[in-house]
Structure 1
Amino acid sequence: MLGISIYPTKSDLTSTIEYIQLAHKYGFKRIFASLLDVNDSNKDDILSLFKKVFSKAHSLDMYITIDANPRVFDTLGVSYQNLNLFKDIGADAIRLDANFDGLTESLISYGDSGLDVELNISSDAGNIENILSYAPNKQKILGCHNFYPQPYTGLDTDFFMKCTQKYKDLGLHTAAFVSSQVAKLGPHPFNNGLPTLEMHRNLPIEVQAKHLFATGLIDDVIIGNEFASEEELKKLSRVNEQLLVLNIELDPSTTKIEREIILEHLHFNRGDVNSYSIRSTYVKLQYKETGIPKNNTSEKLHPGDVVIGNDSFGQYKGEVNIVKKDIPNVDQHKNVVGKITPKELFLLDYIKPWTKFRFETN
């Protein structure tokens, strides 16, 4: 599922509503909203504003999470025993940026408000195990990573995987943030992008999302900053959440039949994997009687090259490989038909034994 973040106190109501409608047009179904700007002098106005915004989002059947912390609770006079104020303005979930004692989260999950409880999963301190030891309503427990406005503070990939794996192993729903390259607004004055993973900060938004879904650990991808462009929303809406689709830059010399083999078939990696290439072999069975002449047979193959076995390759004719290491093109048996877009090369690490994938062009 895809989502957007909104910061109604940082922009006008009309712009926020228009952004929600635009996101809905492209299939976005989640709203993440921050109440961190609330204080004693503006709380009535902010609650009224959020109620208007959430009413519009609910009319579009969108799911709404409010991000809050203990200061927000104190300012609004809200206790963890009574969260009806958040429900009354239209929230479906409350995200607890700071964990409590475990029992508190458990009690909230059975509260009269009916709110889901979204936990911060960007840590590895045993909090989820503690919460589950108090027998919460697991149907009401979700996990959502942080975002990081400051460059070089986002999560490392290995740590992200470790933290998220715990939640997936427990069968809990997960979410993480990607960052628009044009949006300027966030919950804090300083905002240099709002991704969860540091490596995503300057990547195209659709590549960030492909990565998160390719891990197999993230259910929902939310744009952390506001306002993403319509082009970014459109690109994100086209990302396949279940299947890795790699962007390929086809060589101008690629033939019609080579294009067909690459672009019109579902591919999958063999189960007996190696470190030199990803092998899609099943597709060759459909081209046993089809000629694939030698074409663009470079002597050396490089990481990201996509190749097809040509007529000289006997039983391997029509086999598709994605090269992972520099290797020779032995006897020029393989035609180079294109290259994986450089910014997506790292996604090859997520193609495991039997992983299904497709290719696409811009």
Structure 2
Amino acid sequence: MPRRLGISIYPDHSDEAHNERYLHQAAANGFSRLFMSMLEITEDKDRVVAKYRRLIQLAKSLDYEVILDVAPNIFAQLGISYDDLSFFADLGADGIRLDQGFDGQKEALMTYNPQHLIIELNMSNDVAYLDNILSYQANKPFLYGCHNFYPQEGTGLPEDFFMACTNRFKRNNLRTAAFISSQVATIGPWSVNDGLPTLEAHRHLPITVQAKHLFATGVIDDVIIGNAYASDEELAALGALDRYQLTFNLALLPTSNPVERTIAFDCQHVRRGDITERVVRSTEVRKQFAAEANAPHDNTRQFERGDVVVGNDDFGKYKNELQVVLEPHTDARKNLIGHISQAELPLLDFVGPWTKFKFEERK
């Protein structure tokens, strides 16, 4: 399933001109999904329609898929029935996210709406909610799942719970989404905004590390920035991200040589299928560079988790094999060439047998 990047907009807490600029900037960086909150509307129906329609029309012209976040009080406030979703179709939206659920039969019936709007479910509960909906023969092509975000420090999901919730949706082959948090954005749906991630562990991490983690789980299709507005630098960094394989941020030592630089940055790395606990071994590169000399250097210290090493001339047939250190050890036959960034060390847990990965240089 194609993986996408998304942004969030809060029309009732933000400036329309800034929203328009944000939509253009994100689209220019490859973002194609828009989460738009309708949970905080206070204006009358005509003003709401005018405001949201303008933004949605712009978003659609930029090829965004637009999902509106709704709750029962919004339906009551605007005089909308769950049995007639034409209001949202008339706005130009592609779907609605149900912040609260019903009895299963209601959600299943909603997926057959004549406007073919997507019905997105709240994924952040490890209960048989989805199974119940599917038992009523829901129209699966129009059913998505999306996690919550958590504005309050310390209230985001733990990873094991997150995976259990998400797997309920992924094993039914439904599109899934989760939120990451900009480190500079200040706008969300509520007055408390300590960031807007789904996972608590992400709250203070660089935004690219959060996205890499979600994609690396293999169970999240759409990664959405929960708060607004992410910086231009954050949007550009996410837009440049490889969504389909792990790319580690590597700080190369100035003592590394041209052969090691080429091995690190210009090659496709694959972890051997017969794995070891000490290191991640990328062995094909040693065959490509078997004829290249590699004198020993930086080879007497203890290697630590996240260090990247390359076999030197004293390593026989293993010369120029690249390894990522998982457990501390010493071996003078290996040259230390650089370090994976501290924030990305947890991503090493996602490098399993035959996992493909690459490096990019940290300046």
Alignment TM-score, normalising by the size of structure 1: 0.98
The match for 1:32 is 35
Structure 2 residues not aligned, in runs of 5+: none
**Residues 209-224 of structure 1: pairs in structure 2 closer than 5 A:** 209-224=211-226
The match for 1:21 is 24
Amino acid at match of 2:300: S
Q: Write the deviation string for residues 283-306 of structure 1: whole angstroms up to 9, x where unpaired.
A: 110111111111111331111110
Q: Structure 1: how far apart are the matches of 2:292 and 2:14? A: 59
Matched, 1:199 2:198: no
**Residues 26-175 of structure 1: pairs in structure 2 closer than 5 A:** 26-39=29-42, 41-175=43-177
The residue matched to 1:159 in structure 2 has which SS? Answer: helix
Q: Structure 2: how far apart are the matches of 1:298 and 1:186? A: 51
Matched, 1:266 2:261: no
Q: Write the deviation string for residues 240-294 of structure 1: whole angstroms up to 9, x where unpaired.
A: 1101000011111011111001110000111111211111111110111111111
Q: Structure 2: how far apart are the matches of 1:291 and 1:47? A: 68
Matched, 1:307 2:320: no
Q: Structure 1: how far apart are the matches of 2:13 and 2:101? A: 27
Is this contact kept in 1: 2:148–2:178, CA < 8 A? yes
Question: Structure 1 residue 113: deviation in Å?
Answer: 2.3
Q: Which runs of 4+ in 1 moved over 4 A?
A: none
Question: Structure 1 residue 44: deviation in Å?
Answer: 2.5
The match for 1:320 is 322
Is this contact kept in 2: 1:9–1:46, CA < 8 A? no
Question: Structure 1 residue 8: deviation in Å?
Answer: 1.3
Structure 1 residues not aligned, in runs of 5+: none
Is this contact kept in 2: 1:147–1:224, CA < 8 A? yes
The residue matched to 1:308 in structure 2 has which SS? Answer: strand
The match for 1:8 is 11
Is this contact kept in 1: 2:304–2:326, CA < 8 A? yes
The residue matched to 2:287 in structure 1 has which SS? Answer: helix
Is this contact kept in 2: 1:296–1:335, CA < 8 A? yes
Which stretch shifts more, 108-117 or 141-150? Answer: 108-117
Q: Structure 2: how far apart are the matches of 1:288 and 1:203? A: 39
Question: Structure 1 residue 47: deviation in Å?
Answer: 2.1
Q: Write the deviation string for residues 48-97 of structure 1: whole angstroms up to 9, x where unpaired.
A: 10011001111111100000111111111111110110111111011011
Q: Structure 2: how far apart are the matches of 1:175 and 1:162? A: 14
The residue matched to 2:93 in structure 1 has which SS? Answer: coil
Count of aligned positions: 359
Question: Structure 1 residue 98: deviation in Å?
Answer: 1.2
Is this contact kept in 1: 2:12–2:41, CA < 8 A? no
Amino acid at match of 2:171: D
The match for 1:339 is 339
Is this contact kept in 2: 1:38–1:75, CA < 8 A? no
Is this contact kept in 2: 1:184–1:227, CA < 8 A? yes
The share of aligned pairs that are identical, in percent, is 47
Amino acid at match of 2:346: F
The match for 2:294 is 292
The residue matched to 2:352 in structure 1 has which SS? Answer: coil
Q: Structure 2: how far apart are the matches of 1:322 and 1:100? A: 49
Q: Structure 2: how far apart are the matches of 1:244 and 1:165? A: 21
Amino acid at match of 1:10: H
The match for 2:356 is 356
Q: Structure 2: how far apart are the matches of 1:58 and 1:124? A: 33
Amino acid at match of 1:5: S
Is this contact kept in 2: 1:298–1:336, CA < 8 A? no
**Residues 218-297 of structure 1: pairs in structure 2 closer than 5 A:** 218-297=220-299
Question: Structure 1 residue 14: deviation in Å?
Answer: 1.0
Q: Structure 2: how far apart are the matches of 1:132 and 1:342? A: 42
Question: Structure 1 residue 3: deviation in Å?
Answer: 0.6
The residue matched to 2:292 in structure 1 has which SS? Answer: coil
Amino acid at match of 1:19: Y
Q: Structure 2: how far apart are the matches of 1:45 and 1:195? A: 30
Question: Structure 1 residue 313: deviation in Å?
Answer: 0.5
The residue matched to 1:67 in structure 2 has which SS? Answer: strand
The residue matched to 1:253 in structure 2 has which SS? Answer: coil
The residue matched to 2:103 in structure 1 has which SS? Answer: coil
Is this contact kept in 2: 1:82–1:113, CA < 8 A? no
Q: Write the deviation string for residues 88-130 of structure 1: whole angstroms up to 9, x where unpaired.
A: 1111011011111111111111011211010111111110100
